[in-house]
Structure 1
């Protein structure tokens, strides 16, 4: 049996390693010159940047894949106990930490309700995560029947699908600072906390209970090590090789056509890419209609010197809810929340000459902006809040939604495929198997179970395990 994988993101690498380790002939084609998708290394004038993701959770997911390729325990995961500084326009600072006592100490200062309910909050998000993992995250969804089972419906109702994330957090906390800091977890799946279901509050469990990590040498080490693991397992990986179309035969995909015109046949095909972009291109179909997740306006700034920033540092908007109203209307916020990741704070060796600031601002998908004007708006806001990055910039590079769309073949530059801003897209994401073709499968952030580096890795593993189940 032979499987072709289109796309070498984390989902594709996970599927390739799993299949090859179980004796399946596996060939992966990636159009870019690197494997790992958005987990892309960018080196500019001596400064190293992890394009994304910057926040690492669930390291055991990656280690499960690396183990199959003989590369387990090759990465040094550094836990960041106090991992995210949340800074607000009035000068208030609230840190997120996996240290319970430190969190309660902070809450006691300005959210007495939160200090009293924090343990109950941790219990509830723990239950949300474990229910979600058992029922949704650890399995492939391949047919409509998977969504219609009575047992799944019962489990779905346990993860608060009818409550928004914002409403969920307000049950435990009264401080708008705390609520806003936690609401940001919705952006991890490219969505609006005032509309996304409370189910995704489980992300808080990962950061506040299991912890946030950084990989020594840069988080891109995960993708690079997974690439070695896939090859060790026996997969054949090809970069700079684009698949132009699929060979269709009734309800069967016979194989793929490469950009050089070569036809390669296979028994199964896995598409690891944004289904909104990949399927129309590969099958000549119309683009699907869905509400895409948010995109991003990114600045990579190498500084001449060092600023008092945390590894993960946020300067929030003065009106977080309006920011999402603007995004939903297709407008770039004039008062955006700015995320800054400076991995040099935890690992000076990755950028010895100065801070390597990765700045990200939420952007409406498919919308362009005057990049220089918007960059200056971001720098001005930072300066006015005591973070004068512009005064120290030695080198920089800007990425817009159009750049993200082109580089990663993502629909309208959306970072996570469909948003979870409505119940259908949250709980009925594109399935991992085609309705039309019995041997065509999908993995990646735009399909079940969703976005985020460990979740995308799970999607590839789940699809591979489903195929292996068919073969046994």
Structure 2
């Protein structure tokens, strides 16, 4: 049976690898020259950067893509734990390191938030409960239709994961220090949402970092995508890069063929779309346009890739420099739909862990949240670098290589609606828990994977989704 997969992101690659192992004839089409979607490498002179996700969790999920095919994952990529994994800096210069070392976390909290130090074990217990409930009921299979979202068992599980409490209110049960609260509220940005609106359920993200830990992949996180690609090719997947799909032909409820930009038609028995459904669905079903207009997209990003001629000793692998007014930052992003006046700034300096990425100086990925679809103000990069100087991070005169990434870059390169990173923002009950199903309602042989579909965004989840859709295809066909 022939399967065509549109899009070579992690979800598409995981699905392709899984199906090829089961004996399917798999053909994967990617519009760009490299695979992996947003997990792709960027080279600027002697400096190497990861374009996409930098904090890697759930390494066993990526390993599973390889290991399910009967081989060891180690020759394809390996993981090194980053410990502690995040340096947080407040506006008054206070620091709080995140780690999965519970004793270390409590010692820090005893100085910053004594109330939080006493509550920390209970906090870990609760976020662990949230995670295991989510894994059991939400993350363990594909959701193929709306019916899968309304089973009684799932409804009971949903009510047990604090769906009507915001992440902010949940965290206030355990912590009182405003800076500590900022550090934990930031987990909402991992799904492109606001901590003042997103359900407390997503505190489970904290479980992944604070219990299981954060990892780095030697050679850059794009090594994961390269490992998937290598195994897929070994299993016989035919991969076509620089091959943009412009049309899907659906006839009598069946997806018959796809059409490439070059004009070639490809016929297949099954079709998997690894793309933003907010962009893909309106071209397939005009009635989806009305729904699309009502959707709040997730946040996007404004990124500066900066290769420096020096090392900054105070920077760790992962660093966050917080806004003095966190609430106002999210009001501007989601309500006013403008760039924040004083954004929270994330810096990845992977050369701290892997000097081969940048032997002559630091390779900084400097990222701030951005409103989807909005063009950045003039000289916004200068504004960010000026803000970093408040924290004694001076880089302007040390930059020898530089590239800027905007929401428009994301939209153009990945066909992502308004450059949103995760499709829908999880700022409401409906958008948080009722992602687009993994199977089309208008074509019996058409499936979806990726961050805008179930189970959601983030590298491990889209990878899980790719494997689960492959399982569903095997069960149904």
- Alignment-derived partner of residue 26 in structure 1: 26
- Alignment-derived partner of residue 74 in structure 2: 73
- Alignment-derived partner of residue 441 in structure 1: 447
- Alignment-derived partner of residue 131 in structure 1: 133
Q: Provide the C-alpha distance between the structure 2 equivalents of 1:233 and 1:37, rounded to a whole number of angstroms.
A: 21
The TM-score with structure 2 as length reference comes to 0.97
Matches of residues 375-414 of structure 1 in structure 2 within 5 Å?
Answer: 375-414=381-420
- Alignment-derived partner of residue 4 in structure 1: 4
- Alignment-derived partner of residue 237 in structure 1: 239
Q: Provide the C-alpha distance between the structure 2 equivalents of 1:264 and 1:282, rounded to a whole number of angstroms.
A: 17
Q: Provide the C-alpha distance between the structure 2 equivalents of 1:256 and 1:283, rounded to a whole number of angstroms.
A: 16
Q: Does 1:352 align with 2:359?
A: yes
Q: Quick check: 1:15–1:460 contact (8 Å CA) kept in 2?
A: yes
Q: Quick check: 2:86–2:318 contact (8 Å CA) kept in 1?
A: yes
Unpaired segments of 5 or more residues in structure 2? none
- Alignment-derived partner of residue 57 in structure 1: 57
Q: Quick check: 2:298–2:420 contact (8 Å CA) kept in 1?
A: yes
Question: Which shows bigger deviation, 56-65 or 170-179?
Answer: 170-179
Q: Quick check: 1:244–1:282 contact (8 Å CA) kept in 2?
A: no
Q: Provide the C-alpha distance between the structure 2 equivalents of 1:11 and 1:76, rounded to a whole number of angstroms.
A: 19
- Alignment-derived partner of residue 267 in structure 1: 269
Give CA deviations for 1:445-464 in whole Å, capped at 9, x if unaligned: 01111110000101111111
* Counterpart secondary structure, 1:155: helix
Q: Provide the C-alpha distance between the structure 1 equivalents of 2:397 and 2:131, rounded to a whole number of angstroms.
A: 43
Query: For 1:454, which of 454, 460, 472 is the aligned residue?
Result: 460
Residue 284 (structure 1) shift:
6.7
Residue 470 (structure 1) shift:
1.1
- Alignment-derived partner of residue 295 in structure 1: 300
Q: Provide the C-alpha distance between the structure 2 equivalents of 1:236 and 1:127, rounded to a whole number of angstroms.
A: 42
Q: Does 1:165 align with 2:157?
A: no
Q: Quick check: 1:244–1:281 contact (8 Å CA) kept in 2?
A: no
Q: Quick check: 1:71–1:225 contact (8 Å CA) kept in 2?
A: no
- Alignment-derived partner of residue 229 in structure 2: 227
Give CA deviations for 1:72-126 in whole Å, capped at 9, x if unaligned: 1122211012010110111111110111010000000021111111111111111
Q: Provide the C-alpha distance between the structure 2 equivalents of 1:44 and 1:71, rounded to a whole number of angstroms.
A: 33
* Counterpart secondary structure, 2:85: strand
- Alignment-derived partner of residue 15 in structure 1: 15
Q: Does 1:45 align with 2:45?
A: yes
Q: Quick check: 1:432–1:447 contact (8 Å CA) kept in 2?
A: yes
* Counterpart secondary structure, 1:302: strand
Q: Provide the C-alpha distance between the structure 2 equivalents of 1:285 and 1:42, rounded to a whole number of angstroms.
A: 38
Query: For 2:331, which of 303, 312, 325 is the aligned residue?
Result: 325
Q: Does 1:426 align with 2:426?
A: no
* Counterpart secondary structure, 1:61: helix
How many pairs were matched up? 470
Q: Quick check: 1:253–1:437 contact (8 Å CA) kept in 2?
A: yes
Unpaired segments of 5 or more residues in structure 1? none
Q: Quick check: 1:63–1:72 contact (8 Å CA) kept in 2?
A: yes
Q: Quick check: 1:279–1:285 contact (8 Å CA) kept in 2?
A: no
* Counterpart secondary structure, 1:222: helix
Provide the alpha-carbon RMSD of the alignment: 1.2
Residue 255 (structure 1) shift:
1.7
Give CA deviations for 1:216-262 in whole Å, capped at 9, x if unaligned: 11111111111111112221111110111011102110121111211
- Alignment-derived partner of residue 350 in structure 2: 343
Q: Provide the C-alpha distance between the structure 2 equivalents of 1:354 and 1:277, rounded to a whole number of angstroms.
A: 39
Q: Provide the C-alpha distance between the structure 2 equivalents of 1:125 and 1:196, rounded to a whole number of angstroms.
A: 15
The TM-score with structure 1 as length reference comes to 0.98
Q: Provide the C-alpha distance between the structure 2 equivalents of 1:23 and 1:241, rounded to a whole number of angstroms.
A: 24
Residue 283 (structure 1) shift:
6.1
Give CA deviations for 1:312-365 in whole Å, capped at 9, x if unaligned: 001100011110000011110110000000000001111111100001110000
Residue 68 (structure 1) shift:
3.8
Q: Provide the C-alpha distance between the structure 2 equivalents of 1:284 and 1:259, rounded to a whole number of angstroms.
A: 21
Residue 437 (structure 1) shift:
1.1
Q: Quick check: 1:84–1:311 contact (8 Å CA) kept in 2?
A: yes
Q: Provide the C-alpha distance between the structure 1 equivalents of 2:382 and 2:261, rounded to a whole number of angstroms.
A: 40
- Alignment-derived partner of residue 101 in structure 1: 103
Residue 268 (structure 1) shift:
1.1
Q: Provide the C-alpha distance between the structure 2 equivalents of 1:279 and 1:239, rounded to a whole number of angstroms.
A: 23
- Alignment-derived partner of residue 363 in structure 1: 370
